[in-house]
Amino acid sequence: MTAAYKQYKLQFKQPSGTSRGVLTKKETWFIIINDGTKQGIGECGLFRGLSIDDRPDFEDTLKWACNNITKGLNSLLNELVEFPSIQFGLEMAFLSLKSQDTFTLFPSKFTNGKDAIQINGLIWMGDLPFMKQQIKSKIEAGFSCIKIKIGAIDFKSEVDLLKSIRQEFSANNIELRVDANGAFLPSEALEKLKILSELELHSIEQPIKQGQIQEMVALCQETPLPIALDEELIGVFDVTKKEELLLTINPQYIILKPSLIGGFKGSKEWINLANKQNIGWWITSALESNVGLNAIAQWTYTLDNNMPQGLGTGSLFINNFDSPLIVKKGTLQFEKNKYWNINL
């Protein structure tokens, strides 16, 4: 068995704004395993500036993993705990090698084209007209759950934007989620959450920056609006530490991005702990190509979570790979008569 890796740069169709800056491209890496008769492909969805494994030795570690592929998946996962995106790429590649057709990793009604996954429509930051136009197009496209990134323009304008949606669509018609990406200061966060809660939002992701544990504890205790931890989960490797974090903060939700938290194995640990504590959860992609998105979506379907998932990112890029994944009427679907086209 041999393995090789390759870098690929995804180009955004249009600059996409977050509170951490504007994204124009997304670097990703692929692992290709060959056993002499079949090939398996996995994606290491490194996210510069966010992934815990965004470090100078990332490529050297990826090369080491490929050179030591014969150690087997379990051994490699144990040795690469600090490199969650490489762990996920390996999980994917080994599953792909075993699968019948390279890309059907978890056969189900979803991959048979007989069922769909409800997803949220993602609204990127920008000026008000741009954000309004995105919201209008998502609602027209049949989305009943919309996630809006906030924290880049002034707070009053963002509240006015959310109010304008609520004036037209009640909470029964459109579920609104917001993602602050840690944009609020701890001193102002509770007051802002009170204002946002009047708009009947579903939840807010990561209102303050990760790592401010005591401030987040106080916020989750007092908040009138459900809080979902996202970045807070990054870099917590040990299952005991994961449990300690959830017991300490006791959030209303957690959001799982497999590329950032150790793939299927790491995500499943978080899910088991959350279920134990009655904490809600959903799965979100982290701007992977359609290869990674396909693996996340197929796995997500097997979890039987009926909440809208964050899996609508495949259409963001000019140079994504043609795949059977399509977004239709606010759902992600797998069209069996469509084929993959990957040129690495």
Same domain, 79 and 143: no
Same domain, 75 and 178: no
Same domain, 52 and 184: no
> Is the residue at 343 inside a domain?
no
Q: Are 85 and 280 in contact (CB under 8 A)?
A: no
Same domain, 42 and 190: no
Last residue of a domain, one of 69, 98, 127: 98
**Sheet with 331-334, edge to edge strand ranges:** 117-118, 331-334, 325-328
Using only the alpha carbons of the chain, give its radius of gyration. 20
Q: What is the CATH number of the domain that holds 164?
A: 3.20.20.120
Same domain, 133 and 14: no
HEC letters along the chain: CEEEEEEEEEEEEEEEEECCEEEEEEEEEEEEEECCCCEEEEEECCCCCCCCCCCCCHHHHHHHHHHCHHHCHHHHHHHCCCCHHHHHHHHHHHHHHHCCCCCCCCCCCCCCCCCCEEECEEECECCHHHHHHHHHHHHHCCCCEEEEECCCCCHHHHHHHHHHHHHHCCCCCCEEEEECCCEECHHHHHHHHHHHHCCCCCEEECCECCCCHHHHHHHHHHCCCCEEECHHHCCCCCHHHHHHHHHHHCCCEEEECHHHHCHHHHHHHHHHHHHHCCCEEEEECCCCCHHHHHHHHHHHHHCCCCCCEECCCHHHECCCCECCEEEECCEEEECCCCCCECCC
pTM to 2 decimal places:
0.95
Active site residue 138: no
Active site residue 149: yes
Same domain, 272 and 132: yes
Q: What is the mean pLDDT of the chain?
A: 94
Q: Residue 323's closest CA among 121, 102, 164?
A: 102
Q: Which residue type does 315 have? A: S
> Is the residue at 110 inside a domain?
no
- Examine the pLDDT at 20 and tell me if it is beyond 70: no
Same domain, 141 and 89: no
For residue 81, the tally of other CB atoms under 10 A from its CB is 12
Tokens of 335: 């069209």
Residues 255, 205: Cα–Cα separation, whole Å: 8
User: Could you report the per-residue pLDDT of 214-270, keeping only the tens digit for each?
Assistant: 999 999 999 999 999 999 999 999 999 999 999 999 999 999 999 999 999 999 999
Confidence class for position 33, pLDDT limits 50, 70, 90: very high
- Total domains in the chain come to 2
Q: Residue 148's closest CA among 116, 118, 170, 181?
A: 181
> What number is the average pLDDT over the span 291-299?
98
Q: What is the CATH number of the domain that holds 90?
A: 3.30.390.10
> Is the residue at 25 inside a domain?
yes
Same domain, 250 and 320: yes
For 220, the domain range is 117-334
Same domain, 19 and 137: no
Residues 197, 135: Cα–Cα separation, whole Å: 20
Confidence class for position 149, pLDDT limits 50, 70, 90: confident
Find the catalytic residue in 138, 147, 149, 209.
149
For residue 284, the tally of other CB atoms under 10 A from its CB is 26
- Examine the pLDDT at 19 and tell me if it is beyond 60: no
Q: Which residue type does 91 have? A: E
Last residue of a domain, one of 68, 98, 128: 98
What pLDDT is attached to residue 312?
A: 87
> Is the residue at 162 inside a domain?
yes
Q: Are 271 and 265 in contact (CB under 8 A)?
A: no
Last residue of a domain, one of 98, 130, 146: 98
What pLDDT is attached to residue 284?
A: 96
> Is the residue at 73 inside a domain?
yes
> Is the residue at 106 inside a domain?
no
> What number is the average pLDDT over the span 88-93?
98
Q: Are 306 and 118 in contact (CB under 8 A)?
A: yes
Same domain, 91 and 128: no
User: Could you report the per-residue pLDDT of 124-138, keeping only the tens digit for each?
Assistant: 877 778 888 888 899
Same domain, 6 and 36: yes
> Is the residue at 107 inside a domain?
no
> Is the residue at 342 inside a domain?
no
Same domain, 217 and 178: yes
- Examine the pLDDT at 144 and tell me if it is beyond 60: yes
What pLDDT is attached to residue 123?
A: 86
